[in-house]
Amino acid sequence: MQFARHFEELYNHKFSELGVDIGLDENRKIWIYEVNWHPGQIFIESRWARNAVMYALYVAKKNRRKKGDYR
């Protein structure tokens, strides 16, 4: 709960749920891999992925080399 409060203060936002992926190493040290503000929400993840792909295509087209351009 302390982590959730810190996260809300850090982003100045009240989250209704948080998903935290953690791991434990051989020295029993806890590691946080990632934090999701709406864990398991496929529609949000797919919308994010679609936007990321669309942006990558935009950048690729914008930076497409012209014939004879050897940058």
Mean pLDDT of the chain: 80
What is the C-alpha separation between 47 and 18, in angstroms, rounded? 19
**Residue 68: inside a domain, yes or no?**
no
Our separate counts of H helices and E strands in the chain read: 2, 2
Q: Which residues contact 8 (CB under 8 A, 6 or more apart)?
A: 14, 15
Tell me: the pLDDT tens digits for 15-38? 788 888 899 999 999 998 888 776
Model's pTM, two decimal places?
A: 0.42
**Residue 70: inside a domain, yes or no?**
no
**Residue 17: inside a domain, yes or no?**
yes
Range of the domain at 27: 2-62
**Residue 16: inside a domain, yes or no?**
yes
User: Is pLDDT larger for residue 2 or for residue 45?
Assistant: 2
Domain count for the chain, please give it: 1
What is the C-alpha separation between 70 and 8, in angstroms, rounded? 49
**Residue 19: inside a domain, yes or no?**
yes
Task: Give me the DSSP letters along 30-58.
Answer: EEEEEEESSTT-HHHHHHHHHHHHHHHHH
Among 38-42, 50-54, 56-60, the minimum mean pLDDT is found in 38-42
